[in-house]
Amino acid sequence: MQKVILNLLASSFVSLTISGCSNSHNSNNLDNWVGNYHYEETPVEANAGYAMVMDWNLTISKQHDSCTGILEVNGQQTFMRLKIDLEGDTSNIAVIYDGLIDGSDAQLKNGDTLFTLTKTAHGFKTTWISLEPRLLNNPPRVCTCFYQTKNSNR
């Protein structure tokens, strides 16, 4: 009898673990991220006296029960439009490179985590990983950079 109970508990644990893993990347957990996000790097004066600017636009949308998006970085000698995937939950996401749409991809590889976003009381904390701000020589690894410009859930 004890062996039957142990087998039943073990199979229940495996079943719960499998369903938990499949639900951990459920796009419903990411629905609240759907919208547009923007980050404008602080302009830097070039040697020629003009201000260099860099704009980052992240658009997250839901298609066929999964959340994907486009990251566009445009500014001083830079243009890239990247297809991205997302992993995470309601408070944290990883923005993952899934291919070049246009421009240059800075030698990124599919599956590279570009950066993460974490919701805080003061906005969205960005942790830079494979991409980082382009105008500063030593940009901070963590900042409150992006803000939401539009949320299509509202």
User: Across the strands, what pairs with 37?
Assistant: 58, 148
SS3 state at 77: coil
pLDDT(8) > 60:
no
Question: What's the chain's average pLDDT?
Answer: 82
Tell me what pLDDT residue 49 has.
Answer: 81
Per cent of the chain over pLDDT 70 is 79
Q: Which two tokens stand for residue 16?
A: 């719960």
Say which DSSP state 99 is in: E
How far CA 44 is from CA of 9, 55, 75, in Å, comes to 61, 13, 11
How far CA 49 is from CA of 42, 43, 78, in Å, comes to 15, 12, 19
Q: Name the most confidently modeled range: 27-31, 45-49, 95-99, 134-138.
A: 95-99
Q: How many CB atoms lie within 10 A of CB 107?
A: 7
> pLDDT per residue over 32-83, tens digit each?
999 999 999 988 888 888 888 999 999 999 988 889 999 999 998 889 999 9
pLDDT(18) > 60:
no
pLDDT(25) > 80:
no
